[in-house]
């Protein structure tokens, strides 16, 4: 440090210049208005929630009625897979089964919620609500608290919302998959594609992650596994151009569904977020994105909510895929995302296999969260 | 989203009108805030509990510093306690008994292992060493290809095998190859694995036994939540961890996982990933992380960068000018150039506390800077030194010259006037009550003395 000058002065100078710049830029626009609901700029494709999987009248109608990923074949459930993970709440509550719920019980409940990444503020509120509910319902043993808590948590999810993925009335349906780095976007796309091809849908994938080394090759392997086609450009190519070409290709080849993979990006990087919006705009010049799925890593902490908010603002997220639920992470941030942003959780990822994608079910999720 | 810890503590003390030594009730209330701050930063609950107990003990025995306010005292105690866990200073890589140095990279899927491996290779190469990357992730599709491409980018060879089955034996052969070829470092990229996947964890153990690593580095995503303790514990049980690489620190997560991981493993965080480019790996600075977790920003890094960007004499001159409030557009332009040398504004804002709440992002400022520059450059020398000359027709001319609108010019001149007013307050009033008018959501770093 040079002598005779306080280090703070450097910062002071920088801050002053910054303030001037911030003032200049900041007054050019109002801070974005936020509402509690997902304000994606894109109007809902389907006016009636039940119509999501129906093909438009007149359109060629493949015999598909069920939403994707709700598969008849028995698959290990989320619950089964979670037996591997550590149990914490139920054991403790079970141990206290006979006793009346006391302060310790409530502390356990709150701790369990915090450790599930529900967020400390939400955890405290839920615990308080539960306490008064228990008093009202005259709950006398701690063993009953778990059931009550599960009920309470399930009720925090929107039970009315349609969690099925939306198809466009006309082929091809276009879905985009977004998220920060390393959440499992490409893997999720592989699973989605496999599910669709398993229902005799023709699927093509767009390798619009042109940034990460070998991302297209990774997607190619998933495409081969799933029996889907892949459209890709050179590494470093414009992702919007890839998406555009993929859409033309999907049209020409009469694909049912086109899934666009995008590069992982931190939500704090405005130029990259703008790029995402651009990819969507490019597609929507000629078609419609009926799902912009945000992939959230279940191990994510409170930052997951910030991610969801930023991605929703940039590209209009229609649903969340919660991945890596096969570990010990509970993915409690999903609750916050659905509650405060109104973005439905649609799918969960529970492993690395082609089949390891399940529809999100609040009850199963809550059971696993409390296991 | 949340007030910074220091603001909230200040609020408590204002409310309690505390003077001098903290009483027990105050300590309790302060500790509750600290608990909240840490939980909001995603520090694991168990770690928070242990940590808060530690701080309580320290606070009870703390001496009173006359020069510190109670809030500052507590923050100092908390900060110290955090640094005791995170480490006093940066810990570099170990040196092996004999070369090559073997670095085993492990972690969950998507934590950034492959990128971290390539960044490490790049860093070592720049230090004049001869690293070899080993593609031992045989599970993720195209993982080998990814490492090969990254290896090409940093010009470090990659050991890979076309017919690959067993990661442990592959790693063994890679080691043999590295020894023969006199590589100084062997960086083994392994598959991402869930810590509850017994088979894969066993495979990691086998790889470790095959190469007997100098360092086993756990790669951890800075955005990780409460699960960080479980992950750290499980990896620690399987392999002899020697350190942690914290990735994606360029986001806005508070990074409480850093504390959880170091607390559980008692291993230092050695490096931090701070961007998508292969040069974006930094030595980890515990003190800066402590401030970040507490929501106090990373003022130290900022000072360091500023010291590099501004030369000292200029800074002294500028300080005087600022105090006299004869800061001109010319000076402003000069300072802006220096500021640009510090890197993108967006990365700087992340280091300043409270900046995340601002209505505009750093990227927007970065985008708008050329316009500001253009406007100033379109002014004549006289205008730059005396903004009062700027009448309507001059502003119109400037706007035309800069390709901006007159409104833009007006805004800049107005903003500049306010900054000057602010400086007058800093210089003239000194300790006066006059408050600086800061943009909404912005809070100055503590101790700036502005």
- Domain definitions of chain A by residue range: 78-155, 173-317
- How do beta strands A257-262 and B185-190 pair? unpaired
Does A301 sit within 8 Å of B149, measured CB to CB? no
For chain A, what percent of residues have pLDDT higher than 90?
A: 64
pTM above 0.95, yes or no: no
Q: Where in chain B is the domain with CATH 1.10.260.30?
A: 302-434
The number of angstroms, rounded, from the C-alpha of A98 to the middle of its chain's C-alpha atoms is 39
DSSP-derived 3-state class of residue A213: coil
Closest C-alpha among A331, A328, A317, A243 to residue A287: A243
Neighbours of B393 (CB within 10 A): 8
pLDDT at residue B96 in the model: 94
For chain B, what percent of residues have pLDDT higher than 90?
A: 49
Average pLDDT over residues A319-329: 95
Quickly tell me which residue has 């491409």 as its tokens.
B149
Please indicate if any CB of chain B lies within 8 Å of the CB of A26: yes
Q: Where in chain B is the domain with CATH 3.40.50.300?
A: 101-284
User: What residues of A are in contact with residue B296 (Cβ under 8 Å)?
Assistant: none
* Residue pair A41/B341 in contact by the 8 Å Cβ criterion: no
Rounded Cα distance, A339 and A268, in Å = 22
Rounded Cα distance, A283 and A195, in Å = 23
Q: Tell me the CA distances in angstroms from B79 to A101, B18, B54, B75, one per residue in order.
A: 37, 21, 12, 6
Rounded Cα distance, B157 and B250, in Å = 28
Rounded Cα distance, A189 and A197, in Å = 12
* Residue pair B211/B172 in contact by the 8 Å Cβ criterion: yes
pLDDT in tens, A287-312: 999 999 999 999 999 999 999 999 99
CB pairs under 8 A between A and B: 273
Decide: residue B215, CB within 10 A, 0-12 exposed, 13-18 middle, 19+ buried. Answer: buried
pLDDT in tens, A79-105: 444 343 344 455 555 555 567 788 888
- The CATH architecture to which A78-155 belongs is Up-down Bundle (1.20)
- The CATH architecture to which A173-317 belongs is 3-Layer(aba) Sandwich (3.40)
Neighbours of B68 (CB within 10 A): 12
CATH class, domain B101-284, is alpha beta
Please indicate if any CB of chain A lies within 8 Å of the CB of B27: no
pLDDT at residue B436 in the model: 44
Return the CATH number of the domain spanning residue range B3-86: 1.20.120.140
DSSP-derived 3-state class of residue A180: coil
| C-alpha atoms less than 13 angstroms from C-alpha of A305 in its C-beta half-sphere | 23
- The nearest CA of chain B is from the CA of A50 a distance in Å of 36
Neighbours of A252 (CB within 10 A): 8
Could you say which of 2.40.50.140, 1.10.260.30, 1.20.1250.20, 3.30.70.20 is the CATH number of the domain covering B302-434? 1.10.260.30
Residue A8 CB partners (closer than 8 Å, separation 6+):
B303, B447, B448, B449
Residue from B41, B50, B147, B225 to probe the interface with A (highest A Cβ count within 10 Å): B225
Please say if the pLDDT value at position B71 is more than 70.
no
pLDDT in tens, B119-130: 999 999 999 999
pLDDT band at B426 (very low <50, low <70, confident <90, very high): low
* Residue pair A174/A258 in contact by the 8 Å Cβ criterion: yes
Rounded Cα distance, B358 and B349, in Å = 9
Three-point CA angle B320, B323, B326, nearest 5°: 85
Any idea which of A72-81, B255-264, B418-427 has the lowest mean pLDDT?
Answer: A72-81
Mean pLDDT of chain B: 83
Please indicate if any CB of chain A lies within 8 Å of the CB of B438: yes
User: What residues of A are in contact with residue B227 (Cβ under 8 Å)?
Assistant: 117, 299, 327-330
pLDDT in tens, B394-405: 999 999 998 889
Average pLDDT over residues B237-259: 93
- How do beta strands B243-247 and B269-273 pair? parallel
Count of all residues that appear for chain A in the document = 371
Rounded Cα distance, B37 and B31, in Å = 10
- Helix, strand, coil percentages (3-state) for chain A, rounded to 5, are 45, 10, 45
Structure tokens at B153: 């980018």
Please say if the pLDDT value at position A236 is more than 60.
yes
Q: Where in chain B is the domain with CATH 1.20.120.140?
A: 3-86
Three-point CA angle B101, B102, B103, nearest 5°: 120
Does A23 sit within 8 Å of B439, measured CB to CB? yes
Cβ under 8 Å to B: A residues 186-215: 211-215
Of chain A, the end-to-end C-alpha distance in Å amounts to 54
Rounded (10°) CA dihedral B438, B440, B442, B448: 20
* Residue pair A68/A173 in contact by the 8 Å Cβ criterion: no
Rounded Cα distance, B178 and B99, in Å = 9
* Residue pair A176/A291 in contact by the 8 Å Cβ criterion: yes
DSSP-derived 3-state class of residue B409: helix
Any idea which of A8-12, A57-61, A205-209, A274-278 has the lowest mean pLDDT?
Answer: A57-61
The number of angstroms, rounded, from the C-alpha of A158 to the middle of its chain's C-alpha atoms is 15
């Amino acid at each position: 440090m040079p002598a005779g000058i306080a280090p703070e002065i450097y910062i002071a100078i920088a801050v002053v210049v910054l303030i001037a710049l911030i003032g200049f830029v900041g007054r050019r626009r109002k801070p974005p208005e936020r509402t509690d609901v997902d304000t994606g700029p894109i109007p809902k494709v389907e006016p009636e929630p039940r119509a999501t999987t129906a093909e438009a009248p007149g359109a060629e109608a493949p015999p598909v009625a069920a939403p994707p990923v709700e598969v008849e074949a028995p698959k290990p459930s989320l619950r089964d897979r979670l037996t591997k993970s550590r149990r914490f709440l139920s054991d403790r509550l079970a141990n206290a089964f006979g006793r009346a719920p006391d302060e310790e019980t409530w502390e356990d409940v709150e701790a369990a919620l915090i450790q599930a990444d529900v967020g400390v503020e939400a955890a405290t509120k839920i615990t308080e609500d539960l306490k008064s509910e228990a008093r009202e319902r005259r709950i006398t043993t701690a063993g009953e608290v778990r059931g009550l808590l599960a009920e309470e948590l399930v009720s925090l999810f929107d039970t009315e919302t349609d969690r099925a993925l939306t198809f466009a009335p006309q082929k091809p349906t276009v879905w985009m998959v977004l998220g920060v780095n390393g959440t499992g976007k490409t893997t999720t796309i592989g699973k989605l594609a496999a599910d669709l091809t398993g229902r005799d849908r023709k699927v093509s994938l767009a390798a619009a992650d042109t940034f990460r080394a070998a991302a297209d090759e990774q997607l190619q392997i998933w495409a081969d596994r799933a029996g889907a086609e892949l459209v890709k450009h050179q590494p470093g190519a414009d992702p919007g151009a890839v998406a555009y070409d993929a859409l033309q290709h999907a049209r020409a080849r009469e694909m049912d569904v086109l899934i666009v993979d995008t590069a992982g990006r931190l939500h704090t990087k405005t130029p990259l977020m703008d790029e995402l919006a651009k990819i969507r705009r490019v597609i929507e010049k000629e078609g419609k994105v009926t799902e912009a799925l945000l992939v959230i890593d279940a191990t994510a902490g409170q930052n997951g909510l910030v991610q969801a908010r930023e991605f929703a603002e940039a590209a209009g997220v229609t649903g969340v895929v919660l991945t890596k639920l096969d570990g010990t992470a509970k993915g409690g941030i999903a609750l916050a995302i659905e509650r405060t942003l109104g973005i439905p959780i649609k799918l969960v990822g529970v492993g690395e296999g082609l089949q390891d994608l399940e529809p999100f079910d609040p009850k199963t999720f809550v059971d696993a969260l409390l296991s | 989203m949340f007030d910074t810890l220091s603001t909230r503590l200040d609020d408590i003390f204002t409310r309690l009108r505390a003077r001098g030594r903290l009483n027990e009730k105050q300590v309790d209330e302060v500790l509750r805030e600290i608990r909240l701050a840490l939980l909001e930063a995603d520090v694991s609950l168990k770690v928070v509990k242990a940590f808060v107990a530690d701080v309580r003990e320290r606070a009870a025995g703390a001496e009173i510093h006359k020069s510190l306010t109670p809030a500052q005292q507590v923050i100092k105690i908390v900060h110290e306690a955090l640094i005791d866990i995170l480490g006093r200073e940066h810990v570099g890589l170990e040196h092996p008994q004999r070369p090559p140095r073997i670095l085993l990279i492990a972690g969950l899927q998507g934590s950034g292992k492959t990128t971290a491996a390539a960044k490490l290779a790049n860093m070592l190469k720049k230090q004049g060493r001869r690293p070899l990357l080993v593609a031992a992730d045989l599970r993720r599709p195209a993982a080998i290809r990814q490492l090969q491409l990254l290896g090409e980018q940093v010009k470090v060879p990659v050991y890979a095998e076309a017919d690959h089955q067993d990661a442990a034996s592959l790693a063994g052969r890679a080691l043999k190859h590295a020894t023969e070829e006199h590589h100084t470092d062997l960086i083994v990229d392994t598959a991402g694995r869930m810590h509850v996947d017994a088979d894969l964890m066993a495979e990691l153990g086998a790889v470790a036994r095959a190469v007997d690593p100098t360092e086993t580095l756990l790669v951890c995503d800075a955005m990780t939540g409460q699960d960080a303790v479980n992950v750290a514990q499980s990896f620690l049980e399987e392999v002899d961890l020697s350190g942690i690489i914290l990735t994606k620190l360029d986001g806005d997560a508070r990074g409480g996982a850093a504390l959880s991981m170091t607390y559980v493993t008692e291993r230092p965080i050695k490096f931090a990933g701070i961007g998508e480019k292969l040069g974006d790996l930094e030595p980890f600075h515990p003190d800066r992380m402590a401030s970040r977790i507490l929501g106090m920003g990373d003022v130290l890094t900022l000072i360091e960068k500023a010291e590099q960007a501004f030369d000292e004499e200029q800074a002294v001159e500028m300080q005087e000018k600022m105090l006299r409030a004869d800061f001109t557009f010319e000076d402003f332009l000069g300072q802006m150039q220096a500021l640009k040398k510090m890197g993108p504004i967006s990365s700087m804002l992340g280091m300043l506390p409270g900046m995340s709440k601002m209505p505009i992002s750093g990227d927007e400022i970065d985008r708008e800077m050329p316009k500001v520059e253009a406007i100033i450059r379109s002014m004549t020398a006289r205008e730059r030194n005396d903004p009062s000359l700027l009448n309507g027709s001059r502003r119109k001319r400037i706007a035309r010259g800069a390709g901006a609108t007159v409104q833009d010019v007006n805004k800049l001149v107005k903003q500049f006037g306010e900054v000057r007013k602010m400086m007058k307050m800093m210089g003239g009033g000194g300790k006066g009550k006059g408050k600086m008018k800061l943009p909404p959501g912005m809070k100055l770093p503590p101790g700036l003395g502005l």
